[in-house]
Amino acid sequence: MTDDNLDTLFHPFETGDLPFPAKGKRVLFLGAAPGLRLPEGFAADLALVQPSRHPFRTLEAMGFEISPRAQGMEYDAVLILCGRHRRQNEARIADALARVKAGGLVLVAGSRVNGIDSLRRKAAGMLSLAGSLAKYHGTAFWFLCPADTAALTAAFTPAVLPLVDGYRTAPGMFSPDHVDPGSRLLAANLPADISGDVADFGAGWGYLAAELLSRPGGISRIDLYEADFEALEAARENLAVFGRSVETGFFWTDLLAEPVGRRYDFIVMNPPFHEGRAAEPAIGQGMILAAARALKPGRRLYLVANRQLPYEKLLAKEFRQSGETVRDARYKVLWAVR
């Protein structure tokens, strides 16, 4: 999330188009992002919501009150910073309508890349906008919450996504409407003799972990590590359908910054390599280093990656043995022994 989006969000307060929330008022901030600097005069009590672990930790360290999910009702105002996912942005407006007082302010900001123009048009078609400003390569619009919000909340609540191969997902998660083909390739090429303590790094909504649990074998424990709180909660639900007596752990963790407290016999992962819209191979490289530290000596890592990503040198450096199992037109499955 860029500082421009934050600047756009607070611009109506700084221009005087909106009064600063006074001391004692309660304001909810959905999609809060690092770089947040409250303008002078913003005196309200601010409750931040951020489900992604890295920005959550950054904002927490800055001293803000923050949680991964919205809590509480009857807020005086709600701020919404739009992200990349249209349906998630609409869901945040629905959540705001449910949590703000009648007559309370809802202020939304984002860029064209975030779909702010279409979101503003949709809002304007259903209620009376109180204002709109374009600044810092983005747009902010706002409205006052009506007394009856039932129809509006329903209109902005995304339809429940159909189950993906039986798994529950939600807007904003990685690959919410289909099993990622890279993960499917990895699952189809995992060794048959996986046993002991297993971890899924970057587990998403739980596809790979569920695939492992669906197979006969000697897995005694499986732990899921995921930076997206909502995806991890979906994984918790998805794995609950498996009746095997395997101990399972769920860890909302930033693997690039937070240590893993256990050691494993096998680690599987489909590491992300995008931060926003830019390719960042360093994310996957950091997760490989985390896996190297978390594996027991002589134990194995299996991962899938886009063919062009340069992970082989790092695997050769950090592991005793490494190689490639299979590749197709887009992906490759790599393995390494600690």
The structural domains of the chain, ordered by start, are 3-156 (3.40.50.150), 181-337 (3.40.50.150)
Report which of residues 229 and 217 the model is more confident about: 229
Q: What is the bridge-based pairing of β-strands 26-30 and 45-49?
A: parallel
And the tokens for 147?
Answer: 């007394």
User: Is 80 exceeded by the pLDDT of residue 35?
Assistant: yes
pLDDT at 65: 96
pLDDT at 279: 53
- Average pLDDT of the residues of the chain: 93
pLDDT at 115: 94
And the tokens for 287?
Answer: 């997760």
And the tokens for 290?
Answer: 């985390």
pLDDT at 177: 84
pLDDT at 280: 73
| Residues 75-93 pLDDT 10s | 999 999 999 999 999 999 9
What integer is the mean pLDDT of 258-273? 95
pTM: 0.93
Where does the pLDDT of residue 244 fall: very low under 50, low under 70, confident under 90, or very high at 90 and above?
A: low
User: Is 90 exceeded by the pLDDT of residue 215?
Assistant: no
Lowest mean pLDDT among 115-119, 212-216, 262-266, 326-330: 212-216
pLDDT at 2: 45
What integer is the mean pLDDT of 32-42? 94
CA–CA separation, 93 and 119 (whole Å): 10
Q: Which residues pair with 247 in a beta bridge?
A: 221
Range among 210-214, 236-240, 314-318 rated most confident: 314-318
Where does the pLDDT of residue 180 fall: very low under 50, low under 70, confident under 90, or very high at 90 and above?
A: very high
Share of the chain above pLDDT 90, in %: 85
pLDDT at 243: 55
User: Is 70 exceeded by the pLDDT of residue 277?
Assistant: no
Residue with tokens 């289909």: 178
DSSP assignments along 119-157, one per residue: HHHHHHHHS---EEEEETTEEEEEEEPPS--HHHHHHHS
pLDDT at 28: 98
Lowest mean pLDDT among 74-78, 275-279, 315-319, 331-335: 275-279
Report which of residues 228 and 172 the model is more confident about: 228
pLDDT at 171: 86
Phi, psi dihedral angles at 159 (to 5 degrees): -60, 145
